[in-house]
Amino acid sequence: MNKAQFLQEKSAFHMTYPDKSDLAFYRWFVERHPDLAIGWYHLGREREMRNEIDEALAAYRQALHAKHGPYSEEAAAAYQDLLRKRRRGLWAGRIRLLLASLLFFHAQFAFSPGLLSEPDKAASTGAAFTNGKNASGQERPHVEVIAVPAGTDGKQLRHHVYDYVSGRRTALKQPYTVLVVPEVTGAPLFTPLLFYRPGELHGLLRYDPVSRTVLSQQWFDRPCACDQHPAVRTAKLQLAEEQRTLEHLLILRSALYRHYQRKGSLPQKLSDLARSYPGNALPDIPPTPAWYGATDWAYQPAAFRREAAWESMRHVVPLRGYPEPSVPLAPLQIHVHLDSHAMTLISGPHLVRRYPIAIGKNGSTPAGYFSVLQKISNPRGPDDIYGTRGLIFQQNGYAIHGTNHPASIGQSVSLGCIRLHNRDVEELYTFVAPGTEVIISAHAAPVPRWANPAAFVLPAGRDEETPRVVYHWLH
């Protein structure tokens, strides 16, 4: 795609969505054309102008991994230029920090009590901790998963990973762990795979972003699960905890955003998202983690801003304990890939889940842009053919639903509906709210293989069923 065609796409987007920003277009474009450098380059420029440095670098890196084309060289130059700018900023920041430290120690020696003075116990304990918790918020062990190119030798691999950690997460103030996994076809390289469950590893390292040093590392001669290694076992458990927390926040934020789109305002309280049918945006409110310190999520609707509806969700339901992803989350979308008999649940550039599906025979599943209209638990139909959950995406009989014929998954056998295994449709029903986009195309799934994290399903209540309705979907 050349520049003129790109600008035509941009003009058509803004004509269709006049209230959307250029940033929204660039994000929309790279979702649909992840292999074109031109989109990633412009997304990087937009992020850079907004002073979102980590996000800009991530976009430029994606352009470098895309196939060579218009703006590939420009993206490489912009990436290197921004790295140089950030290094200069880091040195300036270090000098300011050094001066501030000297002033601090001078004040400590000038005004501190004598050596025999009794320290203020209330100040030394109560100021730093409240009920045994850090007053600035609990910091949980942060773990990242990154994929590296196939065929990279050990020395070169370690060099690339060192470059990755030294150039990322400068805002993070605690050591974190990086799990290095073999290349996942279609997934970005050297970019955190937030919702990928690592199997085999090339290695792992622990990095301190403050001192910019590698604290520990373990590399393996060949990729292995290596679960017998204590550091690997611990890191995988910590990753699973962080992924579950992110999933819960993403479910809530996405449901709130869709509620705003449909109703024009946010609900008064989170529990309003879990009403009976047809107001069942969610089956229930995801539970807070055991370490969270409260049974309810922090919900701050006063922080919502209409002009930045999605962006303000990070303040409406803040993420505690972990850093916000450097490549931001986005509202959940369902993508149906007809040629691959696959469905992906995505959040902007992040793949959250991948499911095998059955579709309509003879091209009867419609391609296009739809949205979830209703969610039904245990939908009634002849011989329970619709499985345990149903999500209607078009009123004239099209739905995403479970099945009592699991052997049909992976085939083109229905009259137009999309079938999933019951366990998968129950998870999808948990994640998505009415208003969630359903994008159906003949394109193959961009990531042919993906390891989903452990399943997360919220039980649906009886008030989400419609026992008096018999559905006649195009099964």
Amino acid letter, residue 324: E
| DSSP strand pairing (437-441 vs 368-371) | antiparallel
**Is residue 367 in some structural domain?**
yes
Q: What is the pLDDT of residues 284-309, one digit of tens each?
A: 999 999 999 899 999 999 999 999 99
| Final residue before a domain boundary, out of 177, 203, 238 | 238
The verdict on 227 and 260 lying in the same domain is no
**pLDDT of the residue at 130:** 32
What are 352-410's pLDDT values in tens digits? Answer: 999 999 999 999 999 998 999 999 999 999 888 999 999 999 988 999 999 999 999 99
- Say which CATH number the domain at 457 has: 2.40.440.10
Catalytic one among 401, 421, 472, 475? 401
Is there a contact between 461 and 283 (Cβ–Cβ < 8 Å)?
A: yes
**176 and 290 in a common domain:** no
Report residue 382 CA to chain centroid gap. Answer: 38
- 158-182: average pLDDT: 88
Q: State residue 97's pLDDT score.
A: 53
User: Which listed residue (417, 421, 443, 472) is catalytic?
Assistant: 417
Q: pTM, whole model, 2 decimals?
A: 0.73
HEC sequence for 152-213: CCHHHHHHHHHHHHHCCCCCCCCCEEEEEEECCCCCCCCCCCCCCCCCCEEEEEEEECCCCE
433 and 360 both lie in a single domain: yes
Asked, for residue 135, whether it belongs to a domain, the answer is no
Q: Are residues 309 and 353 in the same domain?
A: no
Question: What mean pLDDT comes out for the span 213-219?
Answer: 95
Q: In total, how many domains does the chain have?
A: 4
Residues 288, 352, single domain; the answer is: no
Residue 359 within any structural domain of the chain: yes
Same domain, 211 and 281: no
- Which among 76, 92, 108 is the end of a domain? 76
Q: Is residue 342 part of a domain?
A: yes
- Clarify whether residues 460 and 337 are in a common domain: yes
Is residue 117 one of the residues assigned to a domain? no
Question: Range with the lowest mean pLDDT among 79-88, 190-199, 379-388, 431-440?
Answer: 79-88
| 347, 458: one domain | yes
Query: Residue 267 sits in which domain range?
Result: 253-316
Please tell me whether residues 364 and 440 are part of one structural domain. Answer: yes
Q: Is residue 375 part of a domain?
A: yes
Residue 170 scores a pLDDT above 80: no
Mark which of 208, 238, 268 sits at the end of a domain: 238
Question: Is 417 a residue of the active site?
Answer: yes
**68 flagged as catalytic:** no
Q: Do 460 and 336 belong together in one domain?
A: yes
Q: Based on the fold, state whether residues 165 and 217 are members of the same structural domain.
A: yes
- pLDDT band for position 11 (cuts 50, 70, 90): confident
Token pair, residue 305, equals 């801003």
| Cα distances (angstroms) measured from residue 297 to each of 203, 373, 386 | 35, 27, 34
Average pLDDT of the residues in 39-67: 86
pLDDT class for 468, splitting at 50, 70, 90? very high
In a domain, 137, yes or no: no
pLDDT digits (tens, 9 = 90+) for 321-346: 999 998 899 999 999 999 999 999 99
**Token couple for 208:** 């301190």
Averaged confidence pLDDT in the chain: 87
Look at the block and give the residue holding tokens 């099945």: 403
Which range is least confidently modeled, 8-22, 109-123, 441-455? 109-123
Q: Are residues 372 and 416 in the same domain?
A: yes
Answer yes or no: is 246 within a domain.
Answer: no
The enclosing domain of 54 has a CATH number of 1.25.40.10
